Homo-oligomer: A and B are copies of this chain.
Amino acid sequence: MVRVQTEDFDIGAEINALTDGRTDIGALVTFTGLVRDMNEGRVTLMELEHYPGMTEKELVRIEQEAHQRWPLQASLIIHRIGRLLPGDNIVLVITASAHRQAAFEAASFLMDYLKTSAPFWKKEIRDGKARWVEVRERDNAAMKKWFSQS
């Protein structure tokens, strides 16, 4: 399941919705990305732009790819858009599987893939000036890893 929303998310509630009444899940991993107040300067505001329509399609594609690679029983991707403050949640990924390795790897894969493929762009007010966040080379490297292994 994927969602793009301006509102915050409640991690506990999302976990409960995914696991409620189920007794086949052995391992559940969540990743939450948050706005940091320091990123090569003091950050006071983050604004997240996205490509409506394509974003949702990309997230669904990414999620399907994870389900093809690992035996997942459930998964969830939520990405926020709009104005965010330091300490605010940006993104939530949840993966559930019978065993922990699949849940860990799939969550890590989803984040690496999302970072390099889903059409979101971050602008920060950093040291008082608006700046587009630059791509980190390590994010590209993290993504390539998944394709050289297989």
**Contact of A31 with B27 in the complex, beta carbons under 8 Å:** yes
**Contact of B25 with A36 in the complex, beta carbons under 8 Å:** yes
Q: Is A56 an interface residue (CB 8 A)?
A: no
A-B contact pairs, 8 of them (CB 8 A): A10-B12, A12-B15, A19-B34, A19-B87, A25-B87, A29-B30, A36-B98, A104-B111
- The number of times this chain is found in the oligomer is 2
Q: Is A35 an interface residue (CB 8 A)?
A: yes
Interface residues on A, range: 35 or more
With A11-B12, A25-B36 known to touch, is A31 a contact of B100 (CB < 8 Å)?
Answer: yes
With A23-B36, A28-B32, A34-B27 known to touch, is A108 a contact of B98 (CB < 8 Å)?
Answer: no
Bound-complex Cα distance A104 to B142 (A): 13
Among B12, B24, B28, contact of A31 (Cβ-Cβ < 8 Å):
B28
With A100-B111, A142-B101 known to touch, is A87 a contact of B34 (CB < 8 Å)?
Answer: no
Over the window 68-111 of chain A, the binary record of Cβ atoms lying under 8 Å from chain B Cβ atoms (1 yes, 0 no) is 00000000000000000011000000000010110110011001
